[in-house]
Structure 1
Amino acid sequence: EGIQVGRKNSWTTGVNVSLPLVVPSLWKNIQISQVDIELAMEEARSSKINLRNQVKKAFFSLLLAKDSYEVFKETYRTDSINLDDIKNKFKQGIVPEYDVITADVRLKSIIPNILQADNMKKIAELQLKMLMGIDSEVPMTVSGALSDYEESMFQQLIPADTSMVENSDLKQFDLQSNKAQKAYELQKLQFAPTLTSSFNYMYMSQNNDFRFRDYRWDPYSVVGVTLSIPLFNGGQRYYNVKQSQIQLWQLQEQRKDLERSLKLSLKNNIDLIHKNIEQIVATQSSVEQARKGYEITRKRYETGLGTIVDVNAAALAMTSAELQYRNAIYDYLAAKADLEKVLGYEL
């Protein structure tokens, strides 16, 4: 018969602790995670800037539609008074029937413009509600007019600093380049050795039964240091470094293209602002002259020195000047909003 050696049951419990001492790739991964956090914050800032730009332009579009609607309504009211006056003069035999027909046609031709302006106002209001997260059924009241921005327009100057250091697109690209640079450094660190320490503290017991309280537990501990040196993996680390290097170069070239595009956009917006300011001054003068010309034409018609055609032409010129004036203010405000988006801050 053989001799039985050992026990039927073996029990082991303990703690195993491992601590990295020198692991360069781990440090670099922590730095990459920090860049990811900064990139996420900048992306959130970019979303805020884009939304603010869209809300501003939608609000200005609503003001433009509202002002255009008011201009056509005022024109309709004025022409209605003129038509009533011409009808009374026709009944008295002062003016021919042609003047009544012409004035009536002129009045009816304004109605499609009123309807179109009212429709544009409703569309602009819905767009603004959508951007602001407001239900379309909730009533909205818009106060003010485009002309309210005229005084502040001449007080605000174009900033001397146009370096675009706050531009969100450039900041995101710089963070992506920084991340790519750290990823490139991480690939190079794959060639570096790593040093880790470990500590084991264990209890072991061997018995033939399951009476745990009677077990004898024998403790033992082990402390060690492990040095790992990467020697060969088929060239994978080398090609990973090359791939990261190429990606880093591509990002650098793409940033140059983005910077050139943003500089062009910046220059275009500044030029548009200057042009729109000049246009506002010119159209404001045109509005005053058109109103004066309309009053003179009305007086000439009432005294028999002018015709109804002259009155209609003067009224059309006045309406056109009013609309051009408001469009010029809108173009200025839209260009200013786009400039703020490129610069990354409000003026």
Structure 2
Amino acid sequence: MQEEALAQAQANLDVVTKKHAVGSASGFDKMRAEVEVANLKPEVISAKNNLQSAVTGLRTVLGLPRTTEIKVEGVLAYIDDDFSNMSLAEFQNQALAARPEILAVKEQKTISGKGVTVAASSFMPKLFFQTDYSYMAMKNDMKFGHGDFSKGFTSAISLQLPLFTGFKNSKQYQKARLDHKIMVDAEKQIFDGIAADAEMSYNKFQEARQKYQAAKESSILAQEALRLANLMYEEGANTQLDVLNSQLAVNRAKLNYVSSLYEYQMARYQLRKAVGKLTDVL
């Protein structure tokens, strides 16, 4: 983008230089065009350095050797998203159904609920039934015969009544109920947090879409305004200041356009993170 801005400024300088050579442009106009070109050159150098720094940072994150060459492919372009036609309620429901946090806390709440049931059972009478079947033989010389063995079969039933346990059962029951209440509150907090996160991600995505459309229209209008400004300046119908202002507007519009594309792409990733489906590169 900075290289394009420099090319536009250089083209404008060429036009002003030609007009100055035939006396139809002042020396001040030529000097102002030269200053604009000179101001843009450092920005181009900085942009190239920032690109190299970004590549170096990416190499570091990936753990690649310093000599590894990274070739950037693809373009930053607008792509319609599958979530574009989904309502906020539908998006929130999908997030609440798929996020691993809500699934995990539901399981924990179920376990804590069963813990309350187990703790409450300590207050109830317990009935035990036991049965035993034995086949025994006793002899001094290890020479057993069939007649040496005897069979036995016993059964027993017992009933336990927890009359007094030193308040142990009561404390265990209270702790189990408290643990279950904590899990219920945690589920609500996670539920509300996921719903809020989904809403913010959804609204950010819609905002990014609208900003892209506005930036796209603004960029088109700014480029047309610059074309007309250059044409009118060549015909002597406006001033060099009008051309420079149009160039500045084009640069600002292009910057907003690229920024809106980046913001839109990041919003698409955030959408998938909100519903627990961030599994691939978009």
Whether TM exceeds 0.5 here: the answer is yes
Q: 1:333 aligns with which of 252, 257, 265?
A: 265
Q: Residue 83 of structure 1: CA displacement?
A: 2.8
Q: Residue 201 of structure 1: CA displacement?
A: 8.6
Identity, % of aligned pairs?
A: 18
Q: Residue 316 of structure 1: CA displacement?
A: 1.1
Q: Structure 2 vs 1, CA of residues 218 and 342 (structure 1 numbering), >3 Å: closer, same or farther? A: farther
Q: Residue 296 of structure 1: CA displacement?
A: 0.9
Give the conservation status (yes or no) of the 8 Å contact 2:8–2:247: no
Number of the residue aligned with 1:172: 104
1:256 aligns with 2:188: yes
Q: 1:269 aligns with which of 192, 195, 201?
A: 201
RMSD: 3.7
Q: 1:145 aligns with which of 53, 70, 75?
A: 75
1:216 aligns with 2:141: yes
Q: Residue 124 of structure 1: CA displacement?
A: 4.9
Post-superposition Cα deviations, 1:60-111, rounded to whole Å, max 9, x if no partner, equal xxxxxxxxxxx11211222233334434544554433322332232223334
Q: Which has the higher contact order (CA 8 A, sep 6+)?
A: 1
Higher mean alpha-carbon deviation, 174-183 vs 121-130, is at 121-130
Q: Residue 254 of structure 1: CA displacement?
A: 2.5
Structure 1 runs not aligned, ≥5 long: 1-70, 206-214
2:86 is matched by which residue type in structure 1? I
Q: TM-score, length-normalised on structure 1? A: 0.62
2:253 is matched by which residue type in structure 1? A
Number of the residue aligned with 1:344: 276
Q: 2:230 aligns with which of 283, 293, 298?
A: 298
Separation in 2 of the partners of 1:228 and 1:120? 81
Separation in 2 of the partners of 1:113 and 1:222? 99
Matches of residues 26-175 of structure 1 in structure 2 within 5 Å? 71-122=1-52, 124-125=54-55, 133=62, 135=64, 137=66, 138-147=68-77, 149-150=78-79, 152-153=80-81, 156-158=84-86, 161-162=90-91, 163=93, 164-175=96-107
Higher mean alpha-carbon deviation, 263-272 vs 216-225, is at 216-225
Give the conservation status (yes or no) of the 8 Å contact 1:204–1:218: no
Q: Residue 246 of structure 1: CA displacement?
A: 1.0
Give the conservation status (yes or no) of the 8 Å contact 2:205–2:271: no
Separation in 1 of the partners of 2:207 and 2:169? 57
Separation in 2 of the partners of 1:200 and 1:119? 88
Higher mean alpha-carbon deviation, 90-99 vs 313-322, is at 90-99
Q: Residue 314 of structure 1: CA displacement?
A: 0.6
Aligned length: 265
Q: Structure 2 vs 1, CA of residues 204 and 155 (structure 1 numbering), >3 Å: closer, same or farther? A: closer
Give the conservation status (yes or no) of the 8 Å contact 2:109–2:180: yes
Separation in 2 of the partners of 1:135 and 1:334? 25
Q: Structure 2 vs 1, CA of residues 240 and 139 (structure 1 numbering), >3 Å: closer, same or farther? A: farther
Give the conservation status (yes or no) of the 8 Å contact 1:262–1:342: yes
Higher mean alpha-carbon deviation, 241-250 vs 254-263, is at 254-263
Number of the residue aligned with 1:279: 211
1:96 is matched by which residue type in structure 2? S
Q: Structure 2 vs 1, CA of residues 233 and 85 (structure 1 numbering), >3 Å: closer, same or farther? A: same
Q: Residue 238 of structure 1: CA displacement?
A: 2.2
Structure 2 runs not aligned, ≥5 long: none
Higher mean alpha-carbon deviation, 257-266 vs 122-131, is at 122-131
Separation in 1 of the partners of 2:137 and 2:44? 91
Separation in 2 of the partners of 1:126 and 1:238? 63
Separation in 2 of the partners of 1:315 and 1:223? 103
Secondary structure of residue in 1 paired with 2:90: coil
Higher mean alpha-carbon deviation, 224-233 vs 329-338, is at 224-233
